Amino acid sequence: MVDDLTTRIKQLALDAGADLVGVAPIARFDNAPFEVHPRSVFGATRSVIALACRMVRGALKTIEEGNYWQAYNCDSYQYLNEVLAPHMLRKVVVWLEDHGYTSVPFHNPFGAHLGRAVRPDGPSPDAMLSLRVIGCAAGLGELGHSKLFMTPQFGPRQRVYAVLTDAELEPTPLLTEPVCDECGRCVEACPAGAIDPERNVEVLIGDRVFRHAPLDCESCVVVHQGWDPRYSPFLKEDSSRENPPPYFQFLQRRFRHQSICGARGCVRACMDHLETTGRIRKQYRTPMIEGEQWVIEDA
Ligand code: SF4
Ligand code: SF4
């Protein structure tokens, strides 16, 4: 019965557009702090279903070539977060609901919006969950050195979403074979120097310890959003936060996101390493990185 239900949900999620689906029993979150525990979002949660969707490789490749940024901003941010994820999460949730299970779609949370706890011992709404941790807990992958969620199928290039449900489902075993081999390419290629060389942050999920490097998010966001002229072809001489270049305004208006770094180190260099060393399952005709990665020398 549990097996059958799990098989049907997984197939439904795959048919709705997910690339990978796994299940974490609630016990795998026993070590999670209260404020990031799935039951802080939905108190009756028994299983957490993780759904992973790939970011298309070509959208990263055209930034690697220095030619085209819109595909990445559209596909890997707006489309995945705002179109595909709500669609597939709703499909799974409605199906579960039709079978008597209350289920909650957990989208990509756009920042914390904490209000006051409505009960003395309750969580502060909106409670936050780590989708990377959920991906690990559901057996789909692990945390890379870069802190990104990594799978044997796609390395670091996917996004994870979740359904919290009171259905009891068949757990997916935790991944035991590491994907990340500590090569250090993400550290070297990150323009912001945001990824610490030491991998010493530990997260206990189920009975496995996952490790990643501390990430300097403030340094990352400056480069990620295109404010370092060496890695941003769109800045004008008079550009500033108060006067952003027209292309940034276009990206924000059209895709509600502005990724200019294009994850040069944490995704592109990592992908290149994993693909060329055969550490992920799929191989591609055109390498992710050909020659030196570009830098605007006279910026
Ligand atoms: S680039 Fe190397 S060290 Fe960094 S996350 Fe990828 S495999 Fe791990
Ligand atoms: S998004 Fe860019 S700046 Fe941020 S960690 Fe990745 S490579 Fe570094």
pLDDT tens per residue across span 110-168: 666 789 999 998 888 988 899 999 999 999 999 999 999 999 999 999 999 999 999 99
**How far is ligand 2, taken at its centre, from the CA of residue 183, in Å?**
16
CA-wise closest residue to 164 among 104, 96, 112, 216: 104
Kindly report the protein residue whose alpha carbon is nearest to atom 1 of ligand 2.
Answer: 263
What residues have CB less than 8 Å from 182, skipping those under 6 apart?
145, 199
**How far is ligand 1, taken at its centre, from the CA of residue 283, in Å?**
17
Residues contacting ligand 2 via CB (< 6 Å): 190-192, 194-195, 220, 223-224, 261, 263-266
Identify the pLDDT of residue 113: 74
Q: Which of 149, 157, 159, 220 to mutate to test the pocket of ligand 2 (most atoms within 8 A of CB)?
A: 220
Write out pLDDT tens, residues 53-70.
999 999 999 999 999 999
Kindly report the protein residue whose alpha carbon is nearest to atom 7 of ligand 1.
Answer: 180
∠ CA 50-279-209, nearest 5°, is 50
Identify the pLDDT of residue 127: 87
Identify the pLDDT of residue 49: 98
Identify the pLDDT of residue 112: 65
CA distances from 167 to 26, 40, 46, 55 (A): 11, 17, 6, 29
Atom of ligand 1 nearest to the CA of 144: 5
Write out pLDDT tens, residues 218-258.
999 999 999 999 999 999 999 999 999 999 999 999 999 99
Atom of ligand 1 nearest to the CA of 265: 1
**How far is ligand 1, taken at its centre, from the CA of residue 211, in Å?**
12
Averaged pLDDT, 269-294: 96
Kindly list the domain boundaries of the chain, sorted by start residue.
Answer: 2-114+123-276
**How far is ligand 1, taken at its centre, from the CA of residue 273, in Å?**
8
Kindly report the protein residue whose alpha carbon is nearest to atom 8 of ligand 1.
Answer: 180
Provide the sign of the torsion angle of the four alpha carbons 74, 56, 84, 38, taken in this order. Answer: negative
What residues have CB less than 8 Å from 52, skipping those under 6 apart?
18, 19, 20, 21, 135, 140, 141, 149, 151, 154, 158, 159, 160, 161
Give the whole-angstrom CA distance, residue 171 versus residue 24.
Answer: 5
Kindly report the protein residue whose alpha carbon is nearest to atom 3 of ligand 1.
Answer: 182
Q: Which of 273, 276, 280 to mutate to test the pocket of ligand 1 (most atoms within 8 A of CB)?
A: 273
Count each helix (H run) and each strand (E run) in the chain, helices first.
9, 8
- Mean of the per-residue pLDDT values for the chain? 95
Q: Is the pLDDT of residue 3 over 90?
A: no
**How far is ligand 2, taken at its centre, from the CA of residue 194, in Å?**
7
pTM (two decimals)? 0.96
Write out pLDDT tens, residues 66-124.
999 999 999 999 999 999 999 999 999 999 999 999 999 999 876 667 899 999 988 88
Identify the pLDDT of residue 295: 97
**Which two structure tokens, joined as six digits, stand for 79?**
């489309």
